[in-house]
Structure 1
């Protein structure tokens, strides 16, 4: 079919812009309704690795406002839409999705469709296991959709598949960021992304908590600092931008310090700044994790956690109700079971293990 400028403005661009909408592609579906004159449009989305849709986005024409609900779960249970038997990229008519070989099933399908005022439809399936899948449906009650509508869906299918791949990549990147951010927060560490001029491009939740920011007239923020501290940070950023990956620079922010390093290539930032709060207290489940990792008894693990928190053997033992002699015996068993040669090695073992992340 001919590629029209209105298609680009009203359909193809909203496919990309719709990645940032919540729910996604709402405007795209609305424009598709207007373009085809369909009564309803629905987009069922399945996450990568999931065989079933986990999100459905719908759009209804004004004349369908009083129609019965569009129950996609009921349609799917009857082998209609969304259907895993649909070939990717092929546009289906409603008649092709009906099961004419089993009269009882056909009757149930027609009953469900009639209850939803669906007499005509076009549907297409796109995507794959690595990007997730999407099923796009257009319905009408009276007149059938035409060849031009089928051609439009066929033309849209590869663009929808591309948008789906971008959505999957964004979701994966967001998942990685969330995992890293949550782990850093457990360690009291925050990160900010900076430009070469010390403008703040992004900050995680821990950095937002630990630092003060000031809004610039433009879209970029800066750290709220004393003038001389701000100048020192700007100079450090200018010097470190483009430096080798192993380069580091420590900048004093007054009561805190910011450790700067060059940002990874392709990240969109020049530098990454790291800040840490005072060492957080050990999580409540730290002793349980430590005991499981090294075959310790609950009291042995609790004693090790106490030593890691700065207590002496006697102080930790007293807190646990142990006599000085028993506490010393526990510590010897701790060193033997963990393969450490003293309190310093034991503390290092605990702090570099999984207990602080429990």
Structure 2
């Protein structure tokens, strides 16, 4: 079928823009409804490897405002849509999905469709390698959808498959970012991406918590620094834009503060959508080791819970005697416990034991 300029504007562009909507593709479905004159449209989405829809996005025409709810799980149980037996990319009519060979099942199907005021429909299944699956549905109550509507769904299917792949890739990137941010936050580390002019392109939640930002209008902010330090930051970012990966710069965050921002050259981002010059790291002072750290140490090194608690005390700066007293141990017992810790971990003293604890999984428990 020929692509109209209105299709480009009202359907294909909203497919790309819909990746950033919540829920996704709401405007696309509304425009598709107007383009086809359908009563209702729905998009059921299944994540990669699932095969079962976990999200359904719907759009209804004004005349369907009082219609009963569109119950896709009920229709799926009855072998209608979204259906695993549907071939990918093929547009189905409602009649093709009804089970005429089983009168009782056919009756149940028609009853469910009638309750939802569905007498005519077109549906297509879309699959994308690594992007999951989707089922796109249009329904009408009175007049049937035509051949042009079926052709439009068939033409949209590959574009929607591409959009699914992009959405899945974005989801994986967001998951990786969330995992990395979570681990860094446990260690009190925040990161901020800076342009060559020292403007803030992005900051993770921990950096937002630890740093102060200006309230300048527009999408680009700056760190709230005294003028001399701000000039130092801008000069460092400019230098790092062309520096080797191992280059580092240290920027003080206050005249009397011992806190600094550690800068390194930013990695190259594929596609060039955002091109930071430097990544800055900030970190809070040492915090308490989590309560569940003792369980981790006990499981990894075979400590008793009392031994693990002593190891945590040492890692947090206590002496053997102070940590033992806190745990109700005599001085002699505390020293015996420490010898057991060294034996079980293969360390030769308190310094090595503390390093082992702090660089292991315990601080992340």
Which TM-score band applies after superposition, normalised by the shorter structure? Answer: over 0.9
| Distance in 1, Cα, partners of 2:292 & 2:117 | 56
Give the drift of 1:129.
5.3
Deviation above 2 Å: which 4+ runs of structure 1? 215-218
Q: Structure 1 residue aligned with 2:262, among 241, 259, 262?
A: 259
Q: Is it true that 1:273 corresponds to 2:275 in the alignment? A: no
Contact kept in structure 2, 1:127 and 1:165, CA below 8 Å:
no
User: Any residues of structure 2 matched to 1:125-164 within 5 Å, and which?
Assistant: 125-128=125-128, 130-164=130-164
Matching residue of 1:208: 208
SS in 2 for 1:192: strand
Alpha-carbon RMSD: 0.9
Give the drift of 1:183.
0.6
Q: Once the two structures are superposed, what CA deviation does each residue of 1:34-60 show, in whole Å capped at 9, x if it has no partner?
A: 000000000001111212111100000
| Distance in 2, Cα, partners of 1:51 & 1:133 | 7
Q: Structure 2 residue aligned with 1:347, among 316, 336, 354?
A: 354
| Distance in 1, Cα, partners of 2:142 & 2:217 | 55
Q: Once the two structures are superposed, what CA deviation does each residue of 1:82-103 show, in whole Å capped at 9, x if it has no partner?
A: 0111111111111111112222
| Distance in 1, Cα, partners of 2:52 & 2:162 | 20
Matching residue of 1:300: 307
With 265-274 and 316-325 compared, the bigger mean Cα shift is at 265-274
Matching residue of 1:22: 22
Query: Unaligned stretches of 5+ in structure 1?
Result: none
Query: Unaligned stretches of 5+ in structure 2?
Result: none
Matching residue of 1:43: 43
Q: Once the two structures are superposed, what CA deviation does each residue of 1:293-351 show, in whole Å capped at 9, x if it has no partner?
A: 10000010000000000000000000000000000000000000011110000000000
Contact kept in structure 2, 1:119 and 1:141, CA below 8 Å:
yes
Give the drift of 1:253.
1.4
Contact kept in structure 1, 2:128 and 2:162, CA below 8 Å:
no
SS in 2 for 1:135: strand
SS in 2 for 1:45: strand
| Distance in 2, Cα, partners of 1:129 & 1:336 | 52
With 247-256 and 114-123 compared, the bigger mean Cα shift is at 247-256
Give the drift of 1:218.
2.7
Q: Once the two structures are superposed, what CA deviation does each residue of 1:50-74 show, in whole Å capped at 9, x if it has no partner?
A: 1211110000011111111100110
SS in 1 for 2:126: strand
| Distance in 2, Cα, partners of 1:282 & 1:347 | 12
Contact kept in structure 1, 2:92 and 2:124, CA below 8 Å:
yes
| Distance in 1, Cα, partners of 2:128 & 2:51 | 10
Contact kept in structure 2, 1:49 and 1:129, CA below 8 Å:
no
Matching residue of 1:320: 327
User: Any residues of structure 2 matched to 1:66-145 within 5 Å, and which?
Assistant: 66-128=66-128, 130-145=130-145
Matching residue of 2:176: 176
Give the drift of 1:141.
0.6
Contact kept in structure 1, 2:188 and 2:206, CA below 8 Å:
yes
| Distance in 2, Cα, partners of 1:316 & 1:86 | 66
Contact kept in structure 2, 1:192 and 1:200, CA below 8 Å:
yes
With 225-234 and 121-130 compared, the bigger mean Cα shift is at 121-130
For this pair of structures, how many residues does the alignment match? Answer: 358
Contact kept in structure 2, 1:94 and 1:120, CA below 8 Å:
yes
Give the drift of 1:207.
0.3
| Distance in 1, Cα, partners of 2:70 & 2:284 | 52
| Distance in 2, Cα, partners of 1:49 & 1:242 | 42
Flag the 1:158–1:129 CA change in 2: closer, same or farther, 3 A. Answer: closer
| Distance in 2, Cα, partners of 1:50 & 1:242 | 45
Give the drift of 1:262.
1.0
TM-score under structure 1 length normalisation = 0.98
| Distance in 1, Cα, partners of 2:129 & 2:84 | 12
